[in-house]
Structure 1
Amino acid sequence: MFTRTYHAAHPEMMAGVSNEALRDRHLVSGLFRDGEIVLTYSHGERFVIGGAVPAGKALALPAQDAPASVAGHPLLERRELGVVNIGAGAGLVTVDGEAIPLAKYEALYVPMGSREVTFAGDGARFYLLSVPAHAPFPLRKVTAADTSPFRRGALETSNQRTICQLILPHVCQSAALCLGLTRLDPGSVWNTMPPHVHERRSEIYLYFDLEAEDRVFHYMGQPDDLRHLVMQNEDVVISPPWSVHMGAGTRNYSFIWAMAGENLDYEDMDVIDLCQLR
């Protein structure tokens, strides 16, 4: 069921590691394939990270295939799921018989215990994020209008952006998943300013709305020992709790950030002064 498993990384593993090894441990690519659901597994917070591209046919979220004791059980038997349509076309997600349309940038929270989830829509591209849950919460569609988007940054510092908090307690209840969307204005390229870490949560970034020739330089590692990954459209990076996460692109872009861990507090972060970075 999972095309790849990513293991948790200790900060000492960053020392002297090659660029290829760094990419192998933290970069997730190839999630969005026409006519397929692609799922990967990260031991960091037990994230399932995936993509679903119906491309003219309905796709069903697969059942578990391991261990043998749960083979055939629904994937969401003890998990919750966040879905965001990042494609240009409208999509349709059906959860246990209830059909919910999702336009681009719209999200859906799917509760623990959901048995059948299918995806449809010719131009839709669904980004999937799932973590273990302790309780079911209501199925909920979330649009930008539901979130009271807020503005951060400035054009003078190349980081003017709009942030939509899609799955957080004041917008949409969840057991452990936090999820949001950030879109940079034309002329802005830096994200997540000021940079920060949060020791009690892992974070996942998906970069998208890039042209084929564009790239994002994603910075990670401990503040006094930064590394970077060169990422392209629809690439995902897994950021450990001890790692800075920020980036700059060759043009403006969008990214989806997702967190899971001990709490649902958006402000739970240790901000790093730029002068501390090296």
Structure 2
Amino acid sequence: MKTAWNTHPDDVRTYDSERLRDMFLTESLFTPGDINVVYSHIDRVVALGVCPQATPLALDEVIDTKAFGTPFFLARREMGLVNLGGPVEVTCNEGDSYQLDYLDGLYLGMGTQAVSFRSLSEDPPTETAVYCLSAPAHHSWPSRIIKREEARQVELGSQQNANLRLLTQYLHPDVLTTCQLCMGITHLRPGNVWNTMPAHTHARRMEAYLYFNMAPDQVVFHFMGDPRETRHLVVRNKQLVLSPSWSIHSGCGTRQYSFVWGMAGENQTFDDMDFVAMTDLR
């Protein structure tokens, strides 16, 4: 399990590229036949990359629950999942089963036990990749699958500004009830490269970005940092960026791409943003 520590904006000003990447970027989240875990002290979120094969992967056999002080991983947590690969089955609670196709989502409420993942791909096997984000919870809400077509869709941006994109909301108050976790996917339209610009911060919520749908020779420049001391990370396919609440979070790619966004914090009010004027960015 990788541990990502919290940071102060005054300290981040002094980071070189290597230190910045070590603190905020996870380059290898997905390993075939394994579960990789990133435990962040930013709002205590946990990101997981799950790549099941024919043999099931049991979550609590991989995670050291002693690190969380609970008898099982979701004893005091909720978790959202998005399938970024071939079909998988998620089982839990000794009888509940969910089959996820590409870009289907799943919410598991606090108290969910015996979570296991299994590939449903037939020969030849399809690469699997399930991205999970977990946050502390205070109440047990019902688990639910969110099919790709059930996600709430919002068109944003314009072709003129090269930021035309489709926002799909999976874990959102208008779709289902969670304690604090919000998740969705943004797909940039062909010929568009910018997301979330003009930039903003939301001091009440942190955010995690998992970039995907990127070719091997493609990169996204993820802009972060204090609005007047900005920095950037060069990000590649299926790499994770953890964004503190004080940081901007925006990206510009060499061509179109997609990313899973997830948020946790004080509220679930999506218009609770502190916008930064373009003239104030440094």
- TM tier, smaller: over 0.9
Distance across 2 between alignment mates of 1:20 and 1:69: 29
Give the Å deviation of 1:103. 1.3
Superposed counterparts of 1:1-278, under 5 Å: 2=1, 4-62=2-60, 65=64, 67=66, 70=69, 73-87=71-85, 89-96=86-93, 97-121=95-119, 122=121, 123=126, 124-278=128-282
Gaps of 5+ in 2: none
Structure 1 length-normalised TM: 0.94
2:65·2:73 contact (CA, 8 Å) conserved in 1?
A: no
Query: Aligned equivalents of 1:50 and 1:79: distance in 2?
Result: 14
What is the CA–CA distance in structure 2 between the aligned matches of 1:19 and 1:127, rounded to whole Å? 26
How far residue 70 of structure 1 moved from its aligned partner, in angstroms, is: 4.2
Structure 1: distance between partners of 2:236 and 2:257: 11
Q: Does the 8 Å CA contact 2:152/2:170 hold for their aligned counterparts?
A: no
Shift of 1:248: 0.5
**Identity over aligned residues, as a percent?**
42
Counterpart contact for 1:107–1:166, Cα < 8 Å? yes
Question: How many angstroms apart in 1 are the aligned matches of 2:154 and 2:237?
Answer: 24
Q: Is the 8 A contact 1:28 1:237 kept in 2?
A: yes
1:31-64, Cα deviation, whole Å (9 max, x unpaired)? 1100001111000010111110013321111255
Per-residue displacement from partner, 1:108-132 (whole Å, max 9, x unpaired)?
0001101111111243310010111
Considering only aligned residues, what root-mean-square deviation do their CA atoms show, in Å?
Answer: 1.5
TM-score (norm 2): 0.93
Distance in 2, Cα, partners of 1:68 & 1:275? 44
**In structure 2, do the counterparts of structure 1 residues 113 and 231 end up closer, same or farther at CA, with 3 Å as the change threshold?**
same
Could you say what secondary structure the match of 1:45 adopts?
coil
Q: 1:147 Cα deviation (Å)?
A: 2.9
Residue type of the alignment partner of 1:219: F
The one-letter code sitting in structure 2 at the alignment partner of 1:250 is T
Gaps in structure 1 of 5+ consecutive residues: none
Cα deviation for residue 16 of structure 1 reads 2.2
Q: How many residues align?
A: 274
Residues 113 and 182 (structure 1), Cα distance of their counterparts in 2 relative to 1, 3 Å cut: same
Deviation, 1:258, is: 0.5
Inter-CA distance 227–70: structure 2 relative to 1 (3 Å threshold): closer
Instruction: Kindly indicate whether the alpha-carbon contact (under 8 Å) linking 1:142 and 1:172 is maintained by their aligned counterparts in 2.
Output: no
| Change in CA separation of 1:18 and 1:210 when aligned onto 2, cut-off 3 Å | same
Superposed displacement of residue 17, structure 1? 1.4
Offset from partner CA, 1:206-234 (integer Å, 9 cap, x none): 00010111101000011111100001000
